[in-house]
Structure 1
Amino acid sequence: MSENNSFYTSERIFEGAEKLLEIWFGPTSGSIPDISSEFDNNRPLRNGLRLVERDVWDEMLDIVKCHVLNVVHNDYFDAYLLSESSMFIYPHKIILKTCGTTTLLIAIHRLLEIASEYCQLNKVWRVFYSRKSFVFPEAQLGPHKDWNEEVKFLDQLLDNGAAYTVGKSNGDHCWFLWLNSPQNDILLTELESAHPLDETGSDFQDITIEILMTELSSETLNKFYHNPSEGESGTQGGARIDRKTGLCDIYPEAQLDSYLYEPCGYSANGLLRDNYFNIHVTPERNCSYASFETNIPVGHGTIADVIHKVIAIFKPEKFSVTVFKTREDNDNKKLLVVSVDDINGYSRKDRILYEFEDYDLIFAQFEREKNFA
């Protein structure tokens, strides 16, 4: 995807599968210390991790081996479009997603230092790390060459973690997850008494939907190559791709920041109030891959609706879906399972429901039916 990634070769091979890291210092923006400053140009107040200046994040991303292409803001968070995927900065959490041969886990120590030094955030509430199985694991660096090495690295750095392998371990859509339990419940209880969990006073809710697609159709791949005759690449090219593919219609009310790479590849961040989505495409024919991820609540469309919209655009031969959602009642759990039931033109090869301490996870893997055009 990146124009400068060292893993490009003469055969144009690139590892599209992302590493996804979330570090939470509290369940909501209101659950962290009330330290704030003003944006320049009369932008809204910012606090927590949003206090950190751009050059500090740039230095941290050097450790990861990627850099910032563009940044957009709204009242709730900052969205960074990276040379290798995306970063979202909320007052109380950071979400960092990188592809290629980036060294994401190695940056955790620096991330924790930044949170403490600049934001007085000295205790981690939760950490989540996940990724799909790599196509080219031998090209990865450091602990990322092997899942067991990644788990060992995380276990040595963070307390109370648990690692899971979801899906067929001998399949190409196996999904890995490491997470830990909340570490500072007493402190959070005190903070939450002064800061309700959200504006409505309802219980804390969290959802992440991730769709990981491989073997994209030739028709789809051609749309994500830069053609100089059509105009510039970069953000202008990204906006052109949004319209050409219909990606701008998945959440039409969202603010979209997208980028077309040279000679090929595409990334986009979407902002919808306090929620995000991102899209990343590696269109090389021998390693084609696309991902879609969002934490936008189900009220903006059912899980099945989102899956159908995304699959209709990319037309992959294979894809997996993971939905990671805070636990509700049994009726909602049944709806979660049904949401990955039937996808027109695809046969489901796997479906697994995991029950964690506070979350439910549904994983499903699909392949295109042979007789489906």
Structure 2
Amino acid sequence: MNSRTVYVSGIKEHDMANINTEFAGLKLKNPVMTAAGPTSRDGITLLNAAVGGVGGLVAKTVSVKPADVPRPNMAALKEGRVGSRRGILNAELWSELPVERWLQKEYAIALSSGLPLIASVGYTPEEVSKLGPKLEKAGVHAIEFSTHYVEGHAEIAKALKEVVEIPIFAKLSPKVDVADVAKSLEPHVDGIVGINTYGPCLRIDIETGKPMLGSDEGFGWMSGVALKPIAVRCIADIARAVKVPVIGVGGVASGKDVIEFSMVGASAVEVCTAAILEGNTVYGKIADETAEWLKDHGYDSLEDVRGKALRHMDGSAILTPPPSVDLEKCTLCGLCPKSCVYDAITVDKKNELFEIDKDLCQACGMCISVCPYHALYAD
């Protein structure tokens, strides 16, 4: 039977794979959420994300005082459409809006979407314990607390947990031992979010000789696809260390990224940079691609792949030269010989020739990783 695709408000509704997810009592129609940042900066922005197909909402971080954000505060890692897709640097802080405005207006607007809403709060134990009850009273369904600028993670978690009844999640920085910190937090939280941006980093405008960002010294923090390998490793470490749900953040831009995070144990993902670069429809696009990948690979739901990769993280992913090739999938595009530093691969499209020299091949694996058709593989 052919799969049926129905469009509702521009978003696909699937009868193929089940991409619903549930964690800490929150039920999401798909695993894609906003992340705290400029794409969740107020109620209307969050409503736009809902229209764009997001499964859950995470609002921009609030604190006791609004942030004084430097300008400029965002810069792509490289210019151009392709270059900008590598990721961005940002000198963003927490919300520029007073927390009172969030409590009186912005959360209510976001809640009108009907989607689960997670507030984000920072930063000290005193600040989160003061704001937590107010956020809960405003009707949010859970609270994420940021540890980006502070230490004492367990103390912050304890302070927040003591004053609210709704679930709380800790968002970790990649600059800590995430497994150890997650273990220390596990008794006090309902889930772990990882990771925040990485930095400080620096980009110089070579036309002017000046930093691209207006922060002190021009430093910023990196997000986007360049961050994803770090984020995936962190989620794998966290998922193996704790039993509470884990949410992946960092470089999610496609359904394949969702699958990768799920395979290392993530229950859901958060998206920011892709939405900055692509707009609100990217959320639904990522959700659609996730469902389609599952269907194409014979899976019924995300649960079928969750944690699948963790059991293979034991040093057993060994390649004996040469890799195998599926000539039915291979298009003789020539990408693999270009990436082979050992000159072991010969491709001649005119004569329909593909050859790997076993003696030259060093089993480095690069050809497998660059093949867009998955024609090369390890036995």
| Greater fraction helix | 2
| TM-score greater than 0.5 by the shorter chain | no
| Greater fraction strand | 1
Q: Structure 2 length normalisation: TM-score?
A: 0.30
Which has the greater radius of gyration?
2
